[in-house]
Structure 1
């Protein structure tokens, strides 16, 4: 399955969750709901996955933690903030570069309209 096909599945699930719960809850609530819905799809999903960074001979074992990664292709970063700012996008782009993934989605469940809270971040490697 391509990154775009995966992102369509995630968007539809996110929209469903947002319609049922609305905005204003903590990030972990939306993450838990996404996890629950994604496990129904049969896709390979990892949650709160720790990744190392290697700098010369130094390995930093738990350098960063991904909210959700799907099929080792698509990274989801879940937010509940007033708006997605450049720092959030830079964070996700760094995750993409460090993992070699090509596509990430920032899902801001604080947005009144779900689609306005979604940002696609692309890593052209």
Structure 2
């Protein structure tokens, strides 16, 4: 499965979760639901997965924990807030750059309308 196909699966699954659970739950509920449903589809998902952060010269300077790390190639950052903010985008872009992962999705379940946006680091 290509990363674009994988993103489509995550999007479709997120829409189904939002349709059923709606907004109003804590972020962890959506994290567990998305991980559960993706695993049922046969997709490899790791929750709170530690990703190494590298400095520009390749030195390891720490780690952070991705909400979901899907098929060893896609970081999924989840939110459960009224609106996404620039800080949320900056957080995901920082994760992508520092961990040298190419693709990420920012998903907000907290609003009446589901928000999903893909980000790519070149």
What TM-score comes out, normalization by structure 2 length?
Answer: 0.89
Give the number of equivalent residue pairs.
Answer: 121
1:12 matches 2:15: no
Deviation (angstroms), 1:53: 2.8
Q: Which runs of 4+ in 1 moved over 6 A?
A: none
49-58 vs 74-83, which deviates more? 49-58
SS of the aligned residue for 1:42 comes to coil
Deviations along 1:35-68, one digit per CA (max 9) or x if unpaired, are 110111222221101123345797445x210000
Per the alignment, in what secondary structure is the counterpart of residue 16 of structure 1?
Answer: helix
- Residue 33 (structure 2) aligns with: 33
TM superposition shift of 1:102: 1.9
Distance 2:58 2:79 in 1: 34
Mark the runs of 5 or more structure 1 residues left unpaired by the alignment: none
Give the superposition deviation at 1:23. Answer: 0.4
Whole-Å separation in 2 of the counterparts to 1:112 and 1:58: 42
| 1:56-89, Cα deviation, whole Å (9 max, x unpaired) | 797445x210000111111100101111111111
Matched, 1:122 2:106: no
CA distance in 2: counterparts of 1:34 and 1:77, whole angstroms = 11
User: For the residues of structure 2 that align with 1:101 and 1:58, how far apart are their CA atoms?
Assistant: 16
SS in 2 for 1:25: coil
